[in-house]
Amino acid sequence: MCPYPGASAIEVEEGIVVKIEESLRGMEGIEKITSTSADNWGSVNVEISDGYDMNKAIQEIKETLLMLLIPIRLGQKNLLFLNNQCGTVV
């Protein structure tokens, strides 16, 4: 989830969500990307392909997101990685 205080759903979509989706699109091991944009926040969910190394995928996603330029007004970036079988991973 990406908090973006004071932003409209469109600002969240264009300023954060689309940028995240584009940076992850085509990355090895990613099966599906879905997202939600709303006033003040956005969420991008990534499904990892069965059999792909989850730790490797998480590391690659983290590295990609940390390099991504996002608006300063976003504030603190919160990355939460979940695995349906393992609960919270990071």
Question: Whole-prediction pTM value?
Answer: 0.73
Yes or no: say if 29 and 53 are a contact pair by the CB < 8 Å rule: yes
Spatial separation of the C-alpha atoms in residues 30 and 21, rounded to whole Å: 11
User: φ, ψ for residue 47 (rounded to 5)?
Assistant: -100, 130
Helices of type H across the chain = 9-12, 18-24, 54-67
- Confidence bin at 67 (pLDDT 50/70/90): confident
What pLDDT, on a 0 to 100 scale, did the predictor assign at position 89? 38
Topology annotation, domain 2-88: Alpha-Beta Plaits (3.30.70)
Domain limits of the chain? 2-88
Nearest to 34 by CA among 24, 45, 22, 42: 45
Q: List C-alpha distances in Å: 21 to 47, 66, 85.
A: 12, 14, 24
- Confidence bin at 70 (pLDDT 50/70/90): low
pLDDT digits (tens, 9 = 90+) for 8-44: 999 999 988 998 899 999 999 999 999 999 999 888 8
